[in-house]
Structure 1
Amino acid sequence: MGDRVPSCAVCTGVVKPDVVFFGEALPQRFLLHVVDFPTADLLLILGTSLQVEPFASLSEAVRSSVPRVFMNQEAVGPLSWRPRSRDVLQLGDLVDSVERLVELLGWSEELKDLVQRETGKLSGQDR
């Protein structure tokens, strides 16, 4: 995709990623999933400053026995000043870190297929 802004193949509108940008309101579905944290078996935290609420405190919402895997450029928030014994910090480029995790899990082919399929949709090849 390079520096191109993705557009919808159907309506030609700009495609917005399914993320919440700084200053945007949280979607309603966020509140539906907050209840999952006390029963989680694993928490993945990717690419965040952990500075803005309510996300900043979510890393503390899981039980202390739950492993928290944090992938980011640098250690931030409670994972930097109060790590737990089961925490895993993978510091560096986020894309490289996720690709490495995918490789370790044996999901490389599935990721490749997914990227090709979704890139095709964005470029209008999959109509």
Structure 2
Amino acid sequence: MSNVQIKGEKELLAQLEKRLGKEKMDEVSDIALMRGAEVFVEELKSQFASFKDTGASIEEIQVTQPESIHGVRTVKIHWKGPDNRYRIIHLNEFGTVKNPNPKGKGAIARAMMNAKKAYRKAIKDTVMEGFK
């Protein structure tokens, strides 16, 4: 499969929106974002499983519904739950002065790198399905 370079991305998006309507564009992009988030969350869970203790960090991973932030459709992945793991996720990711290299150091960054191709494929496939 060869790479395709598109010039005039803004014009292309404007034409698609003109032909399909803003609602259809938002609907397709929302579905694509949620499928892409699923791919990323699965990779994130596999990265966190390597240093799992109670499993609370994995269980508390949440994905928001798509929303517009400064005109861009976005989903957020965060931690929310009874064990309040959001308070310590950054400590696992970056370390501390006393423990500069915890077992989970860089797990989120690794998940982002590992899921990049699968995320893009999920987005691309969903968009192609949505415009048929």
Q: TM-score, normalised by structure 1?
A: 0.29
Computing the radius of gyration from Cα coordinates, the structure with the larger value is 2
